[in-house]
Amino acid sequence: MPVITFSKEYASGGLEIAKRLAQKLNYDYLDKEIVEQVADHTKVSHQEVMDFEAEGHINVRAYLSRIIDLDIFKKTHKHDEVDEPETTYDERDKIPYSFDTQGWIDSDIYRDMICKVVSELGQRNNVMIAGRGGQCILREQTGVINIRIIAAMADRIARLQIENPDLSEAQAQKQIEAMDKKSREYIKFYFKEDWNDAKLYDVVINTSRVNDDKVVEWLAALCS
C-alpha cells in the first residue's frame, strides 16, 4: 500500500481522521518518531527539536543561520574516546544522517534532517507521515498519496469550541488563524511552497461538505 503524507488545517478534524485512517489501514502514524530521529541525529533534546520546529522558521536564530556562520556559537563536547575520523560531505548525505552536529540545531540543520528522516521513513511500508512538509519532500516519489483536510472557518471554530468550551468565537478564530499561519510559514520557509496550493496534494477533502466517517471510508478505499 502507498506511503501517505497528511496535511490539515487546524481544527478541521484532520488529526482525528488521520489517526482513524491509520488504524483502519494498520499504518504506523509517524509524528513523534520524526522528532525523536531528528533529536537523535542532532544530539539535542526532543523538546528542543519540538520547540525549534514550532518557532524556528520565524525566530532570530533561524534568520541568522541564513546570513552568517553560526559555528562559533555551537556547543562543544569533550570526548574521552579517540577522535572520530572526519566525515565527508558525501558520507553525510547518506540516510540515516551521520554528521555530528554536536548538540546544535539551526534552520539549515533542521531542514536537512527533516528531509533525510522523512525520505528514509518514506521508504518503509504502511506509514503515514504527519505534516513537516512530507508533501514537498516526497512529491516526486512514486507510491505516495498526499492528503489534505480543510474546512470552513465557521465549522473549525465550532470544533475548537467543543474541545475548549471556554473559548469565545473570536478567541477560537484567533487561535485557528495563528496555527494556520505557523503551518503556512513553515512550508514557505523550508520548502518555498504555498501550503494552500492544491497541486501539492493528490486529494483535498473539505470536512464541511463530507462527514468524518465518510472521509475515512473514502480515503481507506483510495489507499487500499
The helix (run of H) or strand (run of E) holding residue 83 is none
pLDDT in tens, 62-116: 444 444 444 444 444 444 444 544 433 344 344 444 444 456 777 888 888 888 8
Please state the rounded mean pLDDT for residues 178-194.
92
pLDDT of residue 102: 54
Answer whether residue 77 is part of any domain: no
Q: Is the pLDDT of residue 187 over 80?
A: yes
DSSP secondary structure code for residue 126 in this structure: S
pLDDT of residue 103: 66
Q: What is the CATH number of the domain that holds 28?
A: 3.40.50.300
Answer whether residue 78 is part of any domain: no
Q: Which domain holds residue 95?
A: 3-72+90-223
pLDDT of residue 62: 45
Backbone angles phi, psi at 129, to 5 degrees: -100, 120
pLDDT of residue 79: 43
Answer whether residue 39 is part of any domain: yes
- 147: which strand partners? 6, 203
Answer whether residue 212 is part of any domain: yes
pTM above 0.85, yes or no: no
Q: How many domains does the chain have?
A: 1
Please state the rounded mean pLDDT for residues 109-124.
87
Answer whether residue 179 is part of any domain: yes
Of 3-17, 42-56, 156-170, the one with minimum mean pLDDT is: 42-56
pLDDT in tens, 14-73: 999 999 999 999 999 988 888 888 788 777 778 877 877 776 555 444 444 444 444 444
Sign of CA dihedral 178, 132, 38, 224: positive
Answer whether residue 9 is part of any domain: yes
pLDDT of residue 27: 95
Please state the rounded mean pLDDT for residues 177-185.
92
Answer whether residue 66 is part of any domain: yes
Please give the mean pLDDT across all residues of the chain: 81
pLDDT in tens, 126-144: 999 998 899 999 988 889 9
Please state the rounded mean pLDDT for residues 199-223.
96
CA distance 81 to 78: 9
CA distance 201 to 199: 5
Answer whether residue 178 is part of any domain: yes
CA distance 152 to 10: 11
Determine contact, residues 160/33, Cβ cutoff 8 Å.
no
Neighbour-count burial of 202, counting CB atoms closer than 10 A to its CB (0-12 exposed, 13-18 middle, 19+ buried): middle
pLDDT of residue 57: 54
